[in-house]
Structure formats: C-alpha cells, structure tokens
C-alpha cells in the first residue's frame, strides 16, 4: 500500500506502483488494521472522508455500511465500537471504492464465531464476483476453509505458492500419533526402520515416513504394547508448519519437536521475518 | 430464435473496474480534510475555546481597566492592545489545535487509512494545511474583531477608546487575527515534523514561551540580534500600535493634525521588525516547517 518503504523489491497493482494509481481506493481496497480510526469520528464520517478523497459518491458510503451491517450505528462515534464492529468498519472502508483487488490483514481477528463465518462468506463472495482477494492470516484452519490458493512467506521469502489441496497433499503426507508405555524403545526401533520420530510434550510420538500398519507390525515384533495408533492426514496447518519450520521468528519453548522432516532441514540460527 | 446460449459458469467480471477519467485531486482531498475537521467534536470545541478565551480575556481585561479608571494612573493606557490581550492566550490554544489536527491522525492510526486512499502525501499535507488555514483565519479574525469592538465599546468616557479608523488600529486588529492563525499553522507544521502530540506541543511551547526566556538571559548584543526573530516578538509588533496611547486625543494640534507621540513603548525600535516584515518571516518559518514535514512524510513509513 506504499505505507512502508520496502527494504528491497517493488510491489505493483495492476502493473503500477500503488503511489502512482489514479484512484487508489477504486483499484485496491485494504483492511490493514482494525480501529485505525479516530475514536471521536462517527463510522459514517470516517467512510465519508475516505470516499471524498477518491470522488466516490456519498450514496456508496451508506451502501457499504449496509453491507457490513453497521447502518444502525453509522452515526455513533467509532471509539465506542467493539473490536468486531471496528473490523466491520475496516472491511466497509476496503469495499468503499468497489475495487477489483482487496487486501485483508487478519480479517477475523476479534470476531465471534458468527462474525468469522460472515467474513468467510464475504471473502468467498467477493472472489466469486471476479475480484482478487488477498487474505493474510495466521489461522490456518480458517484459511483452509476460505482460500483457493495459498502463498507461504517466511523470513521475507516466498516458500510456497499453490492451491490449498496441492499444498496439503504435497506436504509430508501426514503422520501417525503413537502412544506406548515403552516409547523410548519403540522410538529407537522406528528410527532404525527409517522413520522420523518426534516426541510431543505429553510423551506421544509423532511418526513420519512410515505408515500406521507398519508401526503396528513393528510393535508386535518387539512385544511392545500400544495405547494409541492414530494416523493423521496433513492439515493446512501442518503443511504450513513443515514448510516454515526453518523460518519461525519466535518459537515457544514448548513447541513440538518435529525436527526431522527431510524436506525442511532445521536451522537453529535466529530468524528475521515471520511467517505470513 | 434467441441466442441464449451463453454459459453462466463464469462469474460477472468486475475487473478491471471502470474508473472515472483523471485522477484524485487537491479538491477531493480538501473536501475530505474538511469532513475530518468538522466531524471530530474535540476540534469543534477547540475552536469554540479559541473564541471564548480570546474574546473573553480581552473583555475581562478591558472591564477591569475601565472599572479602576478613576483611581489608577493611565498615562500609558493602550486601548487597542488592552482589548486584544486575549490574543496572547488564544495563540496557545490555536497552536495546540494545529498540532492536534496533524498528530491526531498519527495517534489514532487514521494516517494509514488516509495515505492508503491518497498515497501522494505532500498533496494531502497541502490540502490539510489549506483547509485548516482557511478555518483558522476566519476564527482568528472573528476573535480579533470581536475583541476589538467589544473592548472599545466598553471603554466609555472618561476612558479613551479607539476606532477602526484610528491610525494603526485596523492593521493591529487584522494583524492579531493573522498572527494567531499563523501560530496555528506553526503548530500544524511542528505536528508534521514531530508526529507525536506531546512532543509537538512541547516544541510549540518551547518556541513560543521558553525560547524568549532563554534569549533574554543572554548578553544584550545577542538579544538585540536574535530577539526580533522570536514569534512572540513578531506577534507583539503585529498586535501593538506605536500610537496606541490613550492620551492621543489631547495631542491633537490646533489645526486638527494628529501629532503621533509615542508615550509608551508599544513596540517599534531599531531591534524589531515592522509588523508586515515580521509577518513575512513568521510565514517563512511555517513554509520551512511544512516543506521539511512534506519531505519527511514521503521518506518516513506511515
């Protein structure tokens, strides 16, 4: 949006740098952060002052207020709005110019389940209308429901760009959760059989590169009791984690130890630039 | 037969949107800035406070003078200056308002919405400055003229009073309004450069009130060279009239020729600028601040 100067590279919209657009709001709509609003200004006046910059008719202000469901509180000061209402106002601002390209940064932040579903339907609806809708989010399960294509960026680099289905299928192909009283013995044997094994905080093993039946057979041969043997297909979240394993900026201390995925070698060096 | 064979699998294509000819302009941005200015209650109240304080202090000071007219000496009485004394207070309020018009956008994050809608930032600054200047000059002149007329009306005989046709009076009244308007713009300019409300107000108070104190403590050769550049000093020259002496009437010569005798150092001297030169210098400060601010706007992340 030309708000922050890039360290390197360029960004263009419809082939032109954002700053050179003739009618920025009519070409790109953006929800950047909720509540980037003067608390003393009413929702309607906030949208009106934005509309006027791009010569957008006043009637359009009421249209978008209606579309996001804020018509009843349009005259109220935005400072009194809840997080969800602020989010809706931000979305209204993005829609103001009826643009072909829309950018939403964390659109469901602070919304209740009803609001989340509303945003999901809105985004899909906008895409159906022929618009390009970019959504950045850390909520992988939400993205799995909403997005067609996924772009994974970590440490400022493009890691993956492909349809959601392909991404999850191409990922490690899932893993198997294994619980056993003799976990350590089983782990050694599994690694000996070529599997990569991670230990969850609760002691469960997450096993990759070997299928559940083979694990069961191995356990039987060893005479080890299994308490759980649960295969998982990769979710978008897991595919994301696998892809960005070496580019996590801030890692929680108790993050699951899934270090041995062959496609993503671990990198212990400090990282800059988080996953988007 | 009709040719109703179009497939409806493709969505209605809106892209590329039909855009109006031309490009968003200064006029569009000025409209937006006007909406911003009038749609925040605190801004409206600040303008009301400028008027109430500016006029009110002048009226109080004049009433006080008139009430004690009989018992106090008034050889150096300045009816014009007395009625305009509220300008000294009003300049601070309008200066702070100028700061807030700019820093309020940064503090609330509105600036990011503004620059997303209009990425040509210097143009936004020009629109904002222009709209604020127009509103500020109207309010400022209202304060100046209202103060003057109310004050002079209160100075009933035996107290002396001035009229707009008194030499220098019109200039002082118009100048008072222009002076506080420019101080408002000075505040706006500081707001662009500093971006934080507290810091910008601090800078404003520093330039207006602290700087003169510091300068006056310096050797007189430096005071003489520097003092005249202080906004406050320039303002003093713009507001006061050298001939603004209450005893003007008795100085009329036998042929009705007014002999201007400066009885009171209302200003004027080797080490001061004349009112309009001073005003030019003050405007120069604002222009420099706004140009620097404009360059910083483009360079810095919003």
- Residue A106 structure tokens: 């964390």
Give the range among A159-163, A256-260, B77-81, B174-178 with minimum mean pLDDT: A256-260
Residues with Cβ < 8 Å from A73, sequence gap 6 or more? A43, A81, A85
- What does the DSSP assignment read for A128-185? HTT-EEEEE-S-HHHHHHH-SEEEEEETTEEEEEEEHHHHHHHSS--EEEEE-TTHHH
> Range of B170's domain?
26-68+75-299
Inter-chain residue contact B302 with A24, CB threshold 8 Å: no
Is residue A201 predicted with pLDDT exceeding 80? yes
Is residue B198 predicted with pLDDT exceeding 70? yes
**For the residues A79-107, what does the mean pLDDT come to?**
91
Give the range among A176-185, A224-233, B35-44 with minimum mean pLDDT: A224-233
Percent of chain B predicted with pLDDT > 70: 85
Q: Can you give the pLDDT at residue A97?
A: 93
B11 touches chain A (CB under 8 A): yes
Average pLDDT of chain A? 80
Is B5 part of a structural domain of the chain?
A: no
Q: Can you give the pLDDT at residue A138?
A: 78
Inter-chain residue contact A52 with B301, CB threshold 8 Å: no
Average pLDDT of chain B? 86
Closest-CA residue to B190 (of B262, B89, B98, B122):
B98
- Summarised one tens digit per residue, pLDDT across range B127-172 is 999 999 999 999 999 999 999 999 999 998 888 889 898 888 999 9
- Return the residue in A16, A32, A42, A49 with the most chain B beta carbons within 10 A, the one to mutate for interface testing: A49
Give the range among A163-172, A217-226, B122-131 with minimum mean pLDDT: A163-172
Q: Can you give the pLDDT at residue A234?
A: 66
Is B3 part of a structural domain of the chain?
A: no
| Separation of alpha carbons A242 and A261, rounded Å | 7
Is B12 part of a structural domain of the chain?
A: no
Is B103 part of a structural domain of the chain?
A: yes
Q: Can you give the pLDDT at residue A233?
A: 65
A124 touches chain B (CB under 8 A): no
| Separation of alpha carbons B194 and A215, rounded Å | 65
Inter-chain residue contact A55 with B28, CB threshold 8 Å: yes
- Pick from A21, A49, A130: which is nearest to B15 by CB? A130
Q: Which chain A residues have a beta carbon less than 8 Å from that of B302?
A: 3-4
The pair phi, psi for residue A82, each rounded to 5°, is: -75, 170
Closest-CA residue to A27 (of A35, A19, A36, A39):
A19
B41 touches chain A (CB under 8 A): yes
Is B126 part of a structural domain of the chain?
A: yes
Domains and CATH numbers, chain A: 12-136 (3.40.50.300), 175-232 (3.30.70)
Inter-chain residue contact B113 with A93, CB threshold 8 Å: yes
How far CA A54 is from CA of B22, B59, B291, in Å, comes to 11, 46, 25
Q: Can you give the pLDDT at residue B150?
A: 96
- Residue A179 structure tokens: 């619980």
Q: Can you give the pLDDT at residue A45?
A: 96
Closest-CA residue to A143 (of A151, A131, A154, A153):
A151
Is residue A216 predicted with pLDDT exceeding 50? yes
Give the range among A96-110, A139-153, B162-176, B286-300 with minimum mean pLDDT: A139-153
Inter-chain residue contact A45 with B104, CB threshold 8 Å: no
**For the residues A94-122, what does the mean pLDDT come to?**
90
Residue A274 or residue B122, greater confidence: B122
- CA–chain centroid gap for B291, Å, is 18
Is B292 part of a structural domain of the chain?
A: yes
- Residue A23 structure tokens: 């009618």
**For the residues B91-104, what does the mean pLDDT come to?**
95
- Return the residue in A52, A58, A129, A130 with the most chain B beta carbons within 10 A, the one to mutate for interface testing: A52
Q: What is the complex's ipTM, to 2 decimals?
A: 0.82
Residue A34 or residue A105, greater confidence: A105
Is residue B76 predicted with pLDDT exceeding 60? yes
Predicted confidence band of residue B291 (pLDDT cuts 50, 70, 90)? very high
**For the residues B96-121, what does the mean pLDDT come to?**
93
Predicted confidence band of residue B261 (pLDDT cuts 50, 70, 90)? very low
| Separation of alpha carbons B41 and B45, rounded Å | 6
Residue B131 or residue A112, greater confidence: B131
Q: Can you give the pLDDT at residue B258?
A: 42
* DSSP tally for chain A: helices H, then strands E: 10, 11
- Residue B45 structure tokens: 């109240």
Is residue A264 predicted with pLDDT exceeding 50? no
Is B147 part of a structural domain of the chain?
A: yes
Q: Can you give the pLDDT at residue B256?
A: 42
Give the range among A98-112, A142-156, A199-213, B129-143 with minimum mean pLDDT: A142-156
Inter-chain residue contact B39 with A27, CB threshold 8 Å: no
Of all residues in chain B, the one with the smallest CA distance to A15 is B16
Count other C-beta atoms under 10 Å from residue B120's C-beta.
20
Q: Number of folded domains in chain B?
A: 1
Closest-CA residue to B181 (of B93, B106, B242):
B93
- Summarised one tens digit per residue, pLDDT across range B213-234 is 999 999 988 888 899 999 999 9
B229 touches chain A (CB under 8 A): no
- Summarised one tens digit per residue, pLDDT across range A131-156 is 999 998 877 777 777 888 888 877 77
Smallest CA–CA distance, residue B25 to chain A, in Å, is 8
Residue for token pair 């003092």: B227
- Say whether pTM exceeds 0.80: no
Is B132 part of a structural domain of the chain?
A: yes
């Amino acid at each position: 949006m030309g708000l922050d100067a890039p360290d390197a590279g360029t960004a263009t919209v419809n082939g032109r740098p954002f700053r050179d657009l003739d009618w920025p709001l009519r070409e790109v709509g953006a929800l950047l952060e909720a509540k980037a609003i003067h608390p003393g200004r009413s929702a309607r006046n906030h949208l009106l002052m934005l509309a006027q910059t791009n010569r957008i008719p006043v009637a359009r202000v009421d249209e978008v207020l209606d579309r996001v469901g804020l018509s009843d509180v349009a005259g109220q000061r935005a400072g009194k709005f809840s997080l969800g209402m602020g989010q809706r106002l931000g979305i209204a601002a993005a829609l103001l110019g009826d643009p072909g390209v829309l950018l939403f940064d964390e659109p469901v932040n602070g919304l209740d389940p009803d609001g989340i579903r509303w945003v999901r339907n809105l985004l899909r609806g906008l895409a159906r209308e022929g618009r390009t809708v970019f959504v950045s989010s850390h909520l992988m399960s939400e993205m799995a429901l909403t997005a067609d294509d996924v772009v994974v960026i970590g440490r400022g680099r493009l890691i993956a760009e492909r349809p959601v289905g392909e991404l999850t299928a191409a990922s490690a192909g899932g893993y198997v959760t294994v619980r056993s009283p003799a976990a350590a013995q089983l782990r050694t044997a599994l690694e000996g059989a070529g599997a990569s094994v991670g230990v969850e905080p609760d002691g469960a093993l997450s096993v990759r590169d070997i299928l559940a039946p083979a694990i069961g057979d191995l356990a039987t041969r060893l005479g080890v009791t299994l308490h759980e043997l649960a295969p998982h297909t990769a979710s978008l979240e897991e595919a994301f984690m696998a892809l960005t394993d070496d580019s996590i900026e801030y890692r929680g201390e108790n993050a699951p130890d899934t270090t041995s995925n062959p496609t993503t070698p671990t990198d212990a060096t400090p990282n800059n630039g988080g996953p988007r | 037969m009709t040719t109703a064979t179009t497939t409806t699998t493709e969505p209605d294509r809106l892209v590329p949107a039909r855009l109006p000819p031309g490009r968003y302009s200064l006029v569009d941005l000025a409209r937006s800035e006007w909406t911003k200015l009038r749609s925040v209650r605190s801004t409206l109240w600040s303008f009301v406070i400028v008027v109430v304080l500016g006029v009110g202090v002048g009226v109080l000071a004049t009433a006080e003078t008139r009430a004690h007219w009989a018992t106090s000496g008034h050889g150096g009485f300045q009816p014009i200056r007395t009625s305009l004394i509220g300008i000294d207070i009003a300049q601070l309020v309008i200066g702070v308002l100028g700061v807030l018009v700019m820093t309020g956008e940064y503090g609330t994050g509105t600036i990011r919405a503004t620059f997303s809608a209009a990425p040509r930032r210097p143009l936004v600054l020009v629109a904002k400055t222009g709209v604020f200047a127009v509103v500020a000059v109207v309010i400022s002149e209202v304060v100046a003229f209202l103060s003057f007329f109310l004050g002079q009306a209160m100075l009933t005989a035996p107290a002396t009073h001035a009229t707009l046709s008194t030499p220098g009076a019109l200039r002082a009244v118009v100048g008072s309004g222009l002076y506080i308007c420019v101080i408002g713009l000075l505040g706006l300019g500081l707001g662009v450069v500093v971006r934080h409300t507290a810091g910008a107000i601090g800078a404003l108070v520093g330039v207006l009130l602290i700087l003169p104190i510091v300068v006056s403590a310096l050797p007189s050769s430096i005071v003489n060279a520097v003092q005249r550049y202080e906004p406050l000093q320039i303002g003093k020259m713009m507001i006061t009239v050298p001939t603004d002496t209450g005893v003007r009437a008795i100085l009329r010569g036998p042929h009705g020729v007014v002999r201007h005798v400066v009885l009171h150092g209302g200003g004027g001297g080797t080490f001061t600028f004349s009112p309009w030169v001073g005003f030019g210098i003050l405007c120069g400060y604002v222009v420099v601040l706004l140009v620097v601010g404009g360059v910083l706007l483009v360079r810095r992340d919003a």
